[in-house]
């Protein structure tokens, strides 16, 4: 029997490695930019064409490479960072495994130009699929220039799995922002299809965050700083009122390396507990300095997952430091054992103006006066005013009139009080109120018990259904604004708005961008002025989701408009308005759940009600 095991050729081994290290164009950007930083560059320029599918060019002014190193860097596991196994636990550089450039060269056409500072001439190397086609001396600037063309040209299956240019460039932008935020001392430039998106000059950490996120961030940052024997912590968190519905503005760095940690995320969420809006996440930029010997970055191919030797202590330090900062800047309440907790105002109600309570007194009421309490009206029919009283004033309200309460009871000839059993009439002769409105809810009896409808969610689903049906056939009607709304936006938000301008216009949003300011001149007619600001925030977050394809984007944007419509003040003061809302809801194909899969209708069974009175 012949031998079956054999060594893989280098080109196949490199392609296999590329499957782990180079997942998309953004991976190439990350690896080469990190190499430039390790080479001591103070200026790095990234030029992209067609979201990296056609060209990725990265130019730096770092130390450059010798002719021998320029050729050897493309060999697998060739690295200048590691000499012994122990070096893996004292790393202070970005790259170290020597897999990135070999993997990139295996699946693309690479042109490398590099020159060391003391040499008059540099080296130019051309590689196609791991094969060196040309190596010559060349005149070039100090530093290194990589041109990566036709990514995945020899791995068509991987190339076919790439997303749209919008999605892929979104990932490139994310990687660029992470490394730019980690190194504010370096000058970074990012261009896409010859359009400059970022030109970030060397600056302070605070200014770098503002340059990336936009001027609006300046007044939202809360500084964090703590120094211990285990970890040195610095950075910023954003004030709770500027929390996001996604985790896009959450950045952890350790020794200037971006990483992800669900465990440390939990610490931040706990620090903000009770301060955030429902279903939102805090934004933060936190930088940890830890002894390299106490962390292991070699646990994931992309090096975004890191093992910390003393993670429990770091968790506690994160939690206490953020809480202390929020308290110091009067964002979170401080602990006062002498304070009467019963007078605390819930956080979500602190921004509301106080309303003076009113008391209505019936001055003609005489408790000693004997009156004839009857439930018959002039026509001899039973009254159903109790349900109307509940609709108008709310069950148990002090404003309910005495006669409304009288109608809740039937008094027989023996002056014995018995509970009226038919509160809601449904007969043709005397059709009473069929629905009871209490706050956001509409209650109605059903065969199996009590049906409860969430009114705001019902409006949301109705607007979503009407808008999406209209959007399919024609643009949504816009209403021009007397005074345009102006909103400061980040570079990424500018890019997202311009990329989706056509679909936003079809939805009724007309806007222009100039000097990082978005000016909205018209909005969908279904929106009201008080909801516009929140709607724009929702829209910007929606189009900022890099993984949303255009097919799903329209549904997500319409859902955002519908959510804003559901925020409007309810006007269900008449039976006709309530019945119209319910009828329109049941005309929707999906009347049980909102576009975001929240329940609209629920039924409380008779059995459930009976258990409440046992």
Phi, psi of 386 (to 5 degrees): -65, -45
For the ranges 88-102, 340-354, 555-569, the one whose mean pLDDT is highest? 555-569
Q: Report the SS3 class of residue 538.
A: helix
Q: What's the pTM value of the predicted model, to 2 decimals?
A: 0.70
Residue 492 and residue 557 in one domain: yes
Cα-flanking dihedrals φ and ψ of residue 473, to 5°? -95, -35
Write out the two tokens for 12. Answer: 């196949």
**Same domain for 400 and 465:** no
Pair (115, 174) in one structural domain: yes
For 234, phi then psi, to 5°, come to -145, 170
Listed range (18-27, 114-123, 165-174, 341-350) with the worst mean pLDDT: 341-350
Answer yes or no: do 107 and 148 share one domain: yes
- Same domain? For 237 and 177 the reply is no
Take residue 551 and report the two structure tokens written for it.
Answer: 């097919």
User: Is 80 contained in some domain?
Assistant: yes
219 and 108 co-located in one domain: no
Q: Are residues 76 and 195 in the same domain?
A: yes
Phi-psi region of 573 (alpha: psi -120 to 50; beta: other; left: phi over 0): alpha
Beta bridge partners of residue 233, listed in sequence order: 226, 288
Same domain, 133 and 210: no
Q: Is residue 366 assigned to a domain? A: no
Residue of 93, 86, 78, 108 whose CA lies nearest to 36: 93
Residue 118: give the domain boundaries.
Answer: 10-200
In a domain, 395, yes or no: yes
Taking only the tens place, the pLDDT of each residue in 149-181 is 999 988 888 888 888 888 899 899 999 999 999
Answer yes or no: do 193 and 55 share one domain. Answer: yes
pLDDT of residue 574 exceeding 60: yes
Note whether 187 and 118 are same-domain residues: yes
How far apart CA 597 and CA 538 sit, in angstroms, is 17
Domain count, the chain: 4
Residue 143 domain-assigned? yes
**What 8-state DSSP symbol labels residue 9?**
P
Answer whether residue 347 is part of any domain: no
Q: What are phi and psi of 228, to 5 degrees?
A: -135, 175
Residue 356 lies in a domain: no
Residues 34 and 171 in one domain: yes
Q: For residues 234 and 181, is the Cβ–Cβ distance under 8 A?
A: no
Domain-embedded: residue 364? no
Q: Kindly state the tokens that stand for 237.
A: 């968190």
C-beta separation of 183 from 171 below 8 A: no
Stretch 113-130: mean pLDDT: 92
Question: Mean of the per-residue pLDDT values for the chain?
Answer: 79
**pLDDT the model gives residue 265:** 93
Please tell me whether residues 322 and 408 are part of one structural domain: no
The enclosing domain of 463 has a CATH number of 3.30.1370.100
The encoded tokens of residue 422 equal: 């038919």
Q: Which one of 151, 180, 200 terminates a domain?
A: 200
């Amino acid at each position: 029997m012949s031998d079956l095991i054999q060594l893989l050729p280098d080109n196949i081994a490199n392609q296999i490695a590329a499957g782990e290290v180079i997942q998309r164009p953004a991976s190439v950007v990350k690896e080469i930019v990190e190499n430039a930083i390790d080479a001591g560059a103070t200026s790095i320029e990234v030029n992209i064409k067609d979201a990296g599918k056609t060209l990725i060019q990265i130019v730096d002014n770092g130390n450059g490479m010798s002719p021998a190193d320029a050729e050897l860097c493309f060999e697998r596991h060739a690295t200048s960072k590691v000499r012994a196994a122990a070096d893996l636990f004292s790393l202070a550089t970005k790259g170290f495994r020597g897999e990135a450039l070999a993997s990139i060269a295996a699946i693309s056409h690479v042109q490398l130009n590099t020159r060391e500072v003391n040499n008059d001439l540099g080296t130019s190397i051309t590689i196609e699929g791991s094969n060196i086609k040309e190596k010559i001396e060349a005149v070039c600037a100090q530093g290194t220039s990589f041109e990566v063309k036709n990514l995945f040209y020899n791995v068509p299956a991987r190339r076919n799995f790439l997303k749209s240019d919008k999605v892929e460039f979104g990932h490139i932008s994310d990687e660029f922002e992470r490394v730019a935020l980690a190194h504010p001392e370096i000058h970074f430039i990012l261009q896409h299809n010859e359009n400059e998106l970022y030109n970030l000059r060397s600056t302070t950490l605070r200014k770098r965050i503002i340059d990336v996120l936009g001027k609006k961030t300046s007044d939202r940052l809360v500084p964090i700083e703590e120094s211990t024997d285990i970890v040195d912590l610095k950075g910023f968190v954003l004030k709770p009122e500027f929390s996001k519905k996604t985790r896009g503005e959450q950045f952890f760095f350790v020794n200037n390396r971006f990483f992800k940690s669900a465990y440390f995320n939990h610490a931040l969420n706990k620090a903000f507990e009770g301060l955030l809006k429902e279903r939102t996440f805090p934004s933060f930029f936190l930088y940890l300095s830890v002894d390299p010997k106490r962390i292991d970055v070699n646990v994931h191919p992309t090096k975004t997952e890191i093992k910390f030797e003393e993670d429990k202590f770091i968790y506690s330090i994160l939690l206490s430091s953020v809480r202390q900062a929020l308290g110091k800047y009067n964002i979170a309440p401080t602990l006062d054992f002498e304070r009467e907790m019963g007078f605390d105002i819930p956080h979500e109600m602190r921004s509301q103006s106080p309303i003076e309570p009113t008391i209505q007194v019936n001055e003609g009421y005489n408790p000693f006066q004997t009156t004839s309490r009857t439930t018959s009206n002039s026509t001899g029919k039973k009254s159903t005013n109790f349900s109307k009283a509940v609709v108008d004033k709310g069950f148990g309200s002090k404003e309910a009139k005495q006669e409304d309460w009288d109608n809740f009871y039937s008094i027989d000839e023996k002056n014995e009080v018995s509970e009226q059993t038919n509160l809601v009439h449904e007969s043709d002769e005397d059709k009473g109120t069929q629905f009871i409105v209490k706050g956001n809810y509409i209650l109605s009896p059903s065969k199996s018990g009590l049906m409860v409808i969430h009114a705001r969610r019902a409006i949301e689903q109705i607007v979503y259904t009407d808008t999406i049906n209209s959007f399919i056939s024609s643009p949504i009607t816009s209403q021009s604004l007397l005074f345009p709304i102006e909103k400061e936006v980040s570079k990424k938000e500018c890019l997202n708005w311009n990329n989706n301008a056509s679909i936003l216009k079809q939805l009724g949003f007309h806007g222009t961008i100039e000097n990082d300011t978005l000016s909205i001149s018209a909005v969908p007619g279904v929106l009201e002025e008080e909801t516009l600001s929140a709607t724009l925030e929702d829209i910007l977050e929606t189009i900022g989701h890099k993984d949303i394809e255009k097919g799903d984007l329209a549904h997500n944007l319409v859902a955002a408009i519908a959510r804003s419509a559901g925020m409007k003040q309810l006007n269900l003061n008449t039976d006709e308005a309530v019945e119209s809302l319910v009828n329109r809801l049941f005309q929707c194909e999906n009347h049980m759940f909102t576009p975001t899969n929240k329940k609209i209708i629920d039924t409380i069974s008779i059995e459930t009600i009976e258990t409440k009175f046992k």
